[in-house]
Amino acid sequence: MPQTGVEADTEGDLLGRSGRLDLESSSVSEMCESEVAEALAADAFVRSGLQHQDQGDYAQAIQDFLNAVTHYRAIQNVGGEERALGSLGLACYNAGDHARAIEYSTRSFKLACQINNHINAVKVLGTIGNAYRHLGNSIQAIHYQNESRALAEHIGDQRGAMAAFNNLGLAFKAIRDYDQAILNEKQALNLAQQLKDRTVEAQVLKNLGNAYYALGQPAQAVYYYERRLHLARSLNQPRLEAQVLKNLSTACYSTGNPEKAIDYTIARLNLSKLLKDLRGEEQALRSLGVFYEGLGQVHQAAEKYEMRLQVARKLEDLSLFQQAQDDLKRIFCNLGDFDRVHQFSHESLHPA
């Protein structure tokens, strides 16, 4: 049977809008011809890097930003080098190379301090903190996020403070200090509402739901997930809606309300079909089978497991196929229907 814990989805850390630092084109005044060429080349690499990062091609983005750093350094453009290093750190972070993210972001931070670019300093401190959290060093993560928060508050950067509070919540959750996680996420939520940033508000509501669920308070988790669901629907973000429906169904089941869990899971199943998301469809069918079994409605459960079997076949996923197959054999064995047990024992991923 599937686990009843909240299924993992995209982590709710905040790295600034579109994961970018504040970038600006190089000034060509008072430059010789060769310096102008270097500056234009650097700016072109930055634009290319941002484009590749938006497309999810982080390897090419990293190469572009490295090239930009080289060109900016050649003409001693400290501001350009600082921003390119910050973007390079973000690209490494997004690529999962957290050690290099720390290296480049630290270099960016030192230059940002040198030229008093406090806004970017707030952001790269956040990147460093998030990278340490992913490396399992939550103490360092908390240290850097606190530095980011303090600097953001000092310069009146509400968006930076919002991101830092949210990221602090994630860092405290990683060490299972759920009370501190919730306290920081609520600070982030207040700022998101003040700034009328509904996208970030939805992200923080998810993180609050996750923290309460981990704390063993699924009813509170449901409260925040339902608020997130309302926002996702008002923002017309069906994929975000599908994510929160997943967590809502699990949390409702944990509160002892399987009927509501089933309602939310059916909504997720229908949405997954609309999005042509076979993985989401398979997961929803799996959860429905478990929920119906919990209610003693084994024939309904068998129907969902059989539908899951067909989806696993479409996905050509042998492991999922065998799981659904085992669930069906178990149910029909318990019902004494050994003809169906025999039938499903001889099902194959690729029927003749």
Residue 27 is predicted with a pLDDT of 52
- The number of angstroms, rounded, from the C-alpha of 192 to the middle of its chain's C-alpha atoms is 18
> Minimal CA–CA distance to 158: which of 200, 130, 207, 205?
200
Identify the pLDDT of residue 9: 45
Evaluate whether 161 touches 153 at the Cβ level (below 8 Å).
Answer: yes
Predicted local distance difference test score (pLDDT) of residue 224: 98
Predicted model pTM: 0.85
CATH fold label, 225-352: 1.25.40
**Rounded distance between C-alpha atoms, residue 237 and residue 256, angstroms:** 29
**Tens place of pLDDT per residue across the chain (352 aa):** 334 434 434 456 766 433 455 544 455 455 677 788 888 999 999 999 999 999 999 999 999 999 999 999 999 999 999 999 999 999 999 999 999 999 999 999 999 999 999 999 999 999 999 999 999 999 999 999 999 999 999 999 999 999 999 999 999 999 999 999 999 999 999 999 999 999 999 999 999 999 999 999 999 999 999 999 999 999 999 999 999 999 999 999 999 999 999 999 999 999 999 999 999 999 999 999 999 999 999 999 999 999 999 999 999 999 999 999 999 999 999 889 988 989 888 888 887 6
**Residue 16, pLDDT score:** 45
Give me the amino acid identity at 65: F
In this prediction, residue 7 carries a pLDDT of 40
Q: Which amino acid is at 46?
A: V
Residue with tokens 């996923």: 317
Domain assignments of the chain as residue spans, ordered by start:
225-352
Output the DSSP codes for 4-19.
-SPPP-S-----SGGG
At residue 14, the pLDDT reads 66
Sign of the torsion formed by the C-alpha atoms of 48, 52, 54 and 55: positive
From 232, 165, 226, 296, select the one nearest 10 (Cα to Cα). Answer: 232
Task: Please tell me the predicted confidence (pLDDT) of residue 158.
Answer: 97
Sign of dihedral through CA atoms 12, 18, 20, 21?
negative
Give the Cβ contact number of residue 115 at 10 Å. Answer: 13
